[in-house]
């Protein structure tokens, strides 16, 4: 198994809590990581029909067969089991007995929060961050190849062409499991919805516009988007708006969490297509947001990420509320840096610095990293070298 940044956090939580719950999208590496870090624990997949039926029909008997604990994979398949697990860990609260995994954030988090409050730590594993991806042999060394490949571990681990694997992933998980979860019978309509959502990555959400393009109600669009977000396919980045500034835009910004999947849904199949695509800047921005979210979540921190735009004023791609102050970040996919790129961050920083320290960062498509006008200009390949949990000291 290749190292994952979340490993120390997962081991630490397991040394303090009787249950650790690990959520994340399917195929992000949750099972591989848990089995590698806890080889002494038996493994039970609740995707397996026999294990699932046993856990549903006789939950106490199921748990009696694993008295020392276990890794229970895809716990959302048998949510009622968590209530019986509460009884078991109250009887024997030794740390690290049970490791639960799940790929539906809302249902898993709600179940765990209700039944295992104070008994379970909750962590999230997203697909590979850029530095994790680069640990594999033959990792991409240029920007557009990296974005086209995305971060799902099986692609580099098995040496599979990204387009082939992502096509299978879209069909077997996104179009099947997510569509079934939503009880959508019209596959063609759902495929249209997915491609239109991918086309809006890096943009503020306009549910009414999306509703008109897909041909369903606004409430249906919001329900579908909430499931995509709960399945870790997208993130709706909330707008940050201090109460005293009434002109700030309050719509969330939509970002796909995997650039490779977004490219696949947009029909982008080659590096040449991506490099010339009109959405390459939006895809780069979503990639930046995803990398920062991975850095935060894989360090065991809450995301606390926002965007900012005023109706007639500055627009900043990303605000991170770190433990030491604010981090403002702009994404520019080009390999050249223009001084005008700094102005929106400067305008917002002057307002934020009254309350806490502010650091400004520009992530761009070039290679060099340096400091200019109080901005940390960072080449795309060094994005994970920045400390997104706190402010860098220069």
Domains of the chain: 7-124 (3.40.50.300), 130-279 (1.10.10), 305-385 (3.40.1350)
Show the tokens assigned to 135: 């640990």
CA dist., res. 264 & res. 70, Å (int): 36
- In the prediction, which pLDDT does 187 show? 75
DSSP string, 163-224: HHHHHHHIIIIIIIIIHHHHT---HHHHHHHHHHHHTTTTEE--HHHHHHHHTS-HHHHHHH
pLDDT in tens, the chain (394 residues): 788 999 999 999 999 999 999 999 999 999 999 999 999 999 999 999 999 999 999 999 999 999 999 999 999 889 899 999 999 999 999 999 999 998 876 556 666 767 788 899 999 999 999 999 999 988 899 999 999 999 999 999 999 999 999 999 988 877 677 777 677 777 788 889 999 999 999 999 999 999 999 999 999 899 889 888 988 999 999 999 765 455 567 899 999 999 999 999 999 999 999 999 999 999 999 999 999 999 999 999 999 999 998 877 789 999 999 888 899 999 999 999 999 999 999 988 888 866 688 999 999 999 999 999 889 999 999 999 888 987 665 4
* Reduced 3-state DSSP string for 102-120: ECCHHHHHHHHHHHCCCCE
H/E run at residue 50: helix 49-57
CA dist., res. 39 & res. 59, Å (int): 24
Phi-psi region of 183 (alpha: psi -120 to 50; beta: other; left: phi over 0): left
Residues 269 and 214: beta-carbon distance below 8 Å: no
DSSP string, 312-357: TS-EEEEEEE-SSSEEEEEEE-SSS--GGGGHHHHHHHHHHTTTS-
- In the prediction, which pLDDT does 106 show? 55
Number of CB atoms found within 10 A of residue 380's CB = 24
């Amino acid at each position: 198994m290749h190292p994952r940044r979340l490993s120390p956090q997962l081991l630490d939580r397991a040394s303090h809590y009787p249950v650790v719950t690990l959520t994340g999208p399917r195929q992000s590496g949750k099972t591989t990581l848990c089995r590698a870090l806890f080889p002494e624990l038996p493994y039970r997949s609740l995707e397996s029909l026999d294990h699932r039926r046993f856990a549903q029909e006789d939950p106490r008997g199921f748990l009696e067969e694993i008295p020392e604990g276990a890794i229970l994979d895809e716990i959302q398949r048998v949510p009622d089991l968590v209530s019986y697990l509460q009884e078991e860990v109250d009887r024997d609260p030794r740390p690290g007995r049970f490791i639960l995994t799940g790929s539906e954030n809302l249902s898993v988090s709600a179940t765990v929060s209700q039944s295992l409050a104070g008994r379970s730590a909750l962590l999230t594993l997203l697909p590979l961050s850029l530095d994790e991806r680069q640990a594999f042999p033959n990792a991409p060394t240029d920007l557009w190849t990296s974005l086209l490949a995305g971060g799902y571990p099986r692609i580099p681990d098995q040496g599979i062409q990204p387009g082939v694997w992502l096509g299978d992933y879209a069909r077997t998980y996104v179009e099947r499991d997510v569509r079934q979860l939503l009880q959508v019978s019209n596959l063609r309509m759902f495929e249209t919805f997915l491609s239109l959502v991918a086309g809006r990555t890096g943009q503020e959400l306009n549910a009414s516009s999306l509703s008109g393009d897909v041909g369903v109600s606004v409430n249906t669009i919001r329900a579908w988007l909430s499931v995509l977000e709960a399945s870790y396919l997208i993130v709706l980045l909330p707008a940050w708006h201090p109460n005293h500034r009434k002109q700030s835009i309050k719509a969330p910004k939509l970002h796909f969490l995997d650039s490779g999947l977004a490219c696949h849904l947009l029909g982008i199949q080659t590096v040449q297509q991506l490099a010339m695509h009109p959405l390459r800047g939006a895809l780069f921005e979503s990639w930046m947001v995803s990398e920062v979210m991975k850095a935060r979540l894989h360090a065991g921190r809450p995301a606390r990420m926002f965007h900012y735009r005023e109706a007639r004023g500055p627009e900043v791609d990303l605000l991170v509320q770190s433990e030491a102050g604010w981090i403002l970040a702009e994404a520019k996919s080009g390999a050249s840096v223009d001084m005008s790129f700094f102005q929106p961050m400067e305008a917002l920083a002057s307002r934020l610095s009254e309350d806490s320290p502010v650091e400004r960062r520009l992530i761009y498509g070039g290679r060099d990293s340096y400091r200019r006008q109080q901005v940390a200009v960072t080449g795309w390949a060094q994005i994970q070298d920045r400390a997104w949990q706190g402010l860098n000291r220069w």
